[in-house]
Amino acid sequence: MTTAETAAEPPPDLSNLWVFAYGSLIWRPGFDFAERQLARLDGFRRCFSMTSIHYRGTPEVPGLVLSLDSDSTGRCDGIAYRVEEASAPAVLDYLRERELISYAYVERQVQVSLSDGRIVPALAYVSNPGHPQYCGGLDLAQQAAMIARASGSMGANVDYLRATVASLETLGLHDPDLGALLALLPAS
């Protein structure tokens, strides 16, 4: 599968590029942005439904990373970043290299509601349930067991969970599933 096959339809508007962050992009975006707003995405839910064999695990001991699963009654609170037009092509290239490393995610244009009341189109990386790395449906105990033992090129999987929960809490956002999952892991 190529980047073109997973690219958003229609292509992102680089003159007004917004990026929706729901996991590590919140605490480590890796790109410069002109504006940052709390944002809500309806119709999706944040969950640990993607195995990580690169960043937070290995093929032998896969970890778990967050994804956006389609859910007609779902809602995901996160951050939306607006990118300056001049840097948008480089940011898009960076995001595709980072998020589409194994094409487990699909690049989509979604509508997000910003905290100031605006509704904007934003780029989001959502789960691809047909990909071999997709593992939706694991219960919290199964997720905790995988997260507790995995580590990859970006570090321990448990650190990914802790950084995400801490970042959400700092923003005044609470994800009860992530909090419950964190409570199942040993404190360090």
Q: 94-126 pLDDT, tens per residue?
A: 999 999 988 889 999 999 999 999 999 999 999
- Is 99 labeled as catalytic in the residue annotation? yes
Confidence of residue 186 (pLDDT cuts 50, 70, 90): confident
Would you state the pLDDT for residue 10? 72
Which one, of 91, 120, 123, 89, lies nearest residue 107 by Cα? 123
Q: Count the neighbouring beta carbons within 10 Å of the beta carbon of residue 22.
A: 25
Residue 63 contacts residue 122 (beta carbons within 8 Å) = no
Would you state the pLDDT for residue 7? 45
Q: For the domain bounded by 3-176, which CATH number is listed?
A: 3.10.490.10
Region of poorest pLDDT, from 3-12, 62-71, 90-99, 111-120: 3-12
State how far the alpha carbon of 25 is from the alpha carbons of 46, 67, 138, in Å: 13, 12, 23
Separation CA 162–CA 153 (nearest Å): 17
Question: Which of the residues 85, 97, 99, 107 is marked catalytic?
Answer: 99
Would you state the pLDDT for residue 188? 66
For the segment 163-182, the average pLDDT, to the nearest whole number, is 96
Would you state the pLDDT for residue 9? 61
Region of poorest pLDDT, from 10-14, 27-31, 113-117, 119-123: 10-14
For the segment 121-141, the average pLDDT, to the nearest whole number, is 96
* Phi, psi dihedral angles at 17 (to 5 degrees): -85, 120
